[in-house]
Amino acid sequence: MLEVGTGVREMAGEAVSGDQAGYWYLAHGDLLACLVDGLGHGESAFQAANQCLATVEQIHTHPISEILQVCNEELRNTRGVAIGLALIQPENNQLKYCGVGNIRATITGHHLRKLVSIGGILGCEPKVQRPILTVPFEIGKDSFVLCSDGMSADMPHSMYQCKPLYPNLNTLIDELLCQWASLNDDASMMIVR
Ligand SMILES: [Mn+2]
């Protein structure tokens, strides 16, 4: 079964984080993984991110292209979010990904790859028409990493696969947040392996 770790930290001086993470286990061991960065920071960013995750929750078994379309409409009364949304299907050794705005998505391990997110703001687009990337992902060999732009782009991506060194993903993520999260922005990340 896929293992998931998440970590979220608020910008220094804020009480809440505009970054939020959510994931849902589906049939056949599939997993829907979602990292959201509400624009800016503080309460309004927090509200936008929560409203996005609540919308995904309602339709989390639907195709990811449809989830993005629905969120884009449902978030119109918010300031909008950046999102990284992935459907991981271990039985087929594949991962489908689509991102809007500045969320970084990477596969590390055997099938090393950066997944391109396309600019924009979910909740503010006339229509969300983004290509869905389908790439190889093998459980036991690969890890999938989602980061918001509050995490330094210099963070190394080599250690996540090392289970003996990091048997607990949340402990690893806590360490990474301490080392690589900006104090001037909300920061978040998710690792799936
Ligand atoms: Mn941010």
| Global pTM value | 0.95
Q: What is the mean pLDDT of residues 176-188?
A: 95
Does the pLDDT of residue 89 top 90, yes or no?
yes
Q: What is the mean pLDDT of residues 120-137?
A: 94
Q: Is the pLDDT of residue 164 over 80?
A: no
Give the angle subtended at the CA of 41 by the CAs of 98 and 126, to the nearest 5°: 45
Q: Domain of 20: which CATH number?
A: 3.60.40.10
> Do the beta carbons of residue 55 and residue 73 sit within 8 Å?
no
Cα(80) to centroid of ligand 1, in Å? 12
Give the C-alpha separation, 12 to 121, whole Å.
24
Q: How far is the CA of 41 from the centre of ligand 1 (A)?
A: 7
Please state, in angstroms and rounded to a whole number, the distance separating the CA atoms of residues 31 and 123: 24
Q: Tell me which DSSP letter residue 132 carries.
A: P
CA 63 to centroid of ligand 1, rounded, Å: 26
Backbone angles phi, psi at 125, to 5 degrees: -80, 145
Per-residue pLDDT of 57-76, as tens digits, reads 999 999 999 999 999 999 99
In this predicted model, which residue has the larger pLDDT, 111 or 145?
145
Percent of the chain with pLDDT over 90: 85
Residue 185 burial (CB count, 10 A): 21
pLDDT confidence band for 159 (50 / 70 / 90): low
The per-residue pLDDT for range 37-62, each reduced to its tens digit, is: 999 999 999 999 999 999 999 999 99
Ligand 1: centre distance to CA 164 (Å): 32
- Total structural domains within the chain: 1
pLDDT at 177 over 90: yes
Q: Ligand 1 is a single-atom ion; what residues have CB below 5 A from it? A: 37, 149-150, 185
pLDDT band (50, 70, 90) for residue 161: low
Domain extent, residue 174, equals 4-192
Distance 105 CA to ligand 1 centre (A): 14
- For the residues 97-112, what does the mean pLDDT come to? 93
| DSSP code at position 151 | B
